[in-house]
Amino acid sequence: MKQQDYKIIKPVAGDVDEVWGLINYFAETSQELLPRNRNQILEQLLSFWIAKKVNSKGSQKEEVIGCSSLHIWTNNLSEIKSLAVKQECQGKGIGKKLIDKCIEDAKNLGQREIFALTFRPAFFYKQGFRETSKDNLPHKVWNECIHCPKLLTCGEVPVIFSLNDV
């Protein structure tokens, strides 16, 4: 899949079901994401970016193939959440482009750092993130952990990126 085969855009309300399906696919199959309900996605729609497959001749609808969202925690710190790319589209730069959009948003909001909690830290290291201690993150970040099926056996790695570097 080449860059011209997909586009990174802000979603519209009509994209919510596809975003919900993508996030919850990974929440159910690999437990790499926390499940989200449709209302949560709709309420936070402005924080999302999506990757859509560009229509080819004969195709009726542009398909959502990736998503990410940006959550603001403090005046200086944001989090990348719900980063997902359909398995058949992985390895083509889509995840990186989604991260780039979140970084751009965070920088425009005056944030100093952006972090993620991930089971795939190597992917984030390639994007310039570095591992950090959970102790460096606000305590309220861990409130969502209560809803995670891996609560007691969590292997998520906290990674952080300084926006001063871009």
CA distance 23 to 44: 14
Identity of the residue numbered 119: F
- Reported confidence tier of residue 149, pLDDT bands at 50, 70, 90: low
Arithmetic mean of pLDDT, 97-117? 96
Q: Tokens 């606000």, residue?
A: 138
90-69-147 Cα angle (round to 5): 95
**Total domains present in the chain:** 1
According to DSSP H, which parts of the chain are helical?
16-29, 38-43, 94-108, 121-126
- This prediction has a pTM of 0.89
Domain residues for 132?
3-165
Q: What CATH number did the domain enclosing 89 receive?
A: 3.40.630.30
Cα distance from N-terminal residue to C-terminal residue, the chain: 27
- The answer to which of 51-65, 84-98, 114-128 has the lowest mean pLDDT is 51-65
- Asked if 47 contacts 82 with a C-beta cutoff of 8 angstroms, the reply is no
Predicted pLDDT of residue 20: 97
